[in-house]
Amino acid sequence: MPDPLIAILTGWDGPLGRGHVQRMASLLDHLVGTAGMRATLIARACPDFFPDRLRRHVRPEPEGRVSLFVRDMRDSSVDDIRRLQASAPVLCVDDLGPGREIADRAIDLLPNPVQPARRGDPGLFLHGYGFRSALEKLGDAVVEKTLDYTLYAGASPADEYVDFLVSLLPADARFAVFRGAGSFMRDGTSTTALGRDDYAGLILASRVLVSHFGIALYEARAAACRPVAINPSEYHSRLCDIAPAELGIVNLGTRDALAPAAAAAAIRGAAAGAPLTAVSAAAVCTAARENLDRFSGLLRTMI
């Protein structure tokens, strides 16, 4: 008899961004590569950042009987969950839809704007695949805080928006822009191209990360990097406001309502107050793996 199969349902780009698929990719990689569990991502396309070892676990339909569905797609309907439950139990992650109420289990890893008092479990938080895999490649490196800022505006932001973010930084800042294709580091007049594997190293080396609400802000905090948020919507800004205080997010509100001079001053202030202590890549990676171990242990109890 085959081992139980865990089917992961998520999405990416558009309203979902990349955070959901990044953390589910991290979970998939851990389940099949470390925990010795059978798992598949159910999708008709494969995320562009998946390595070959994960691509072979992406299927348009499950192969065989599913033992557990992990659904990380935010707003479920009752019908969505009932259709899945006809085959197997369902675990919902950060689900704000009515289907959450009939799921076999629902957990919050991020703030819940419907019930702000409900706290997520930090011991189950899932870091993104890009962050964790880049940490693993850094090995035992201890990274000095040599960058003032890293800017992350999304996987494929408009050039105009990247230019706007850069304009908020001090003229003499040493900074990086991580944006998928076209990422770069700038030091004075020198510009260096960056790749996907540089992501974790950039955050470890930075005093401040400027991004929008999402798992990148949590990854920044794990790397002793001060998170500053400029958000695409009031919804994202609200999530910053109700995020755990220990994250220390400096929320500058939404892009449309931003006052550039005040935002630039706040970004300078965040860097001035950020720690300069070197960070162990191995220590951050170990903490991320421990969360994955706990999460996979939770899944075992539901199979």
**pLDDT per residue over 17-60, tens digit each?**
889 999 999 999 999 999 999 999 999 899 889 999 999 999 99
29 and 85 share one domain: yes
Residue 139 lies in a domain: no
Return the percentage of the chain with pLDDT > 90, whole number.
83
Helix (H) or strand (E) holding 271: helix 260-272
Residue 138 lies in a domain: no
Return the percentage of the chain with pLDDT > 70, whole number.
100
User: Which tens digit of pLDDT belongs to each residue from 251-262?
Assistant: 999 999 999 999
Q: What is the mean pLDDT of residues 139-155?
A: 93
Domain ranges, residue 159: 145-277
Report residue 1's pLDDT band, with 50, 70 and 90 as the boundaries.
Answer: low
How far is residue 177 from each of residues 43, 77, 148, 187, measured CA to CA in Å? 30, 38, 12, 12
Q: Tell me which DSSP letter residue 266 carries.
A: H
CB 211 within 8 A of CB 217: yes
CB 132 within 8 A of CB 194: no
User: What's the rounded Cα separation, in Å, for the pair 134 and 118?
Assistant: 32
Q: What is the mean pLDDT of residues 228-238?
A: 95
In the numeric block, the tokens 């389940």 are attached to 31
Residue 43 lies in a domain: yes
Q: What is the pTM of this model?
A: 0.93
Of 49, 48, 105, nearest to 72 by C-alpha is 105
Residue 135 lies in a domain: no
Domain tally, the chain: 2
Angle at 179 between CA 176 and CA 181, to 5 degrees: 110
CB 270 within 8 A of CB 228: yes
Instruction: Say if residue 149's pLDDT is above 70.
Output: yes
Residue 116 lies in a domain: yes
User: What's the rounded Cα separation, in Å, for the pair 49 and 55?
Assistant: 10
pLDDT of the residue at 48? 87
Instruction: Say if residue 76's pLDDT is above 90.
Output: yes
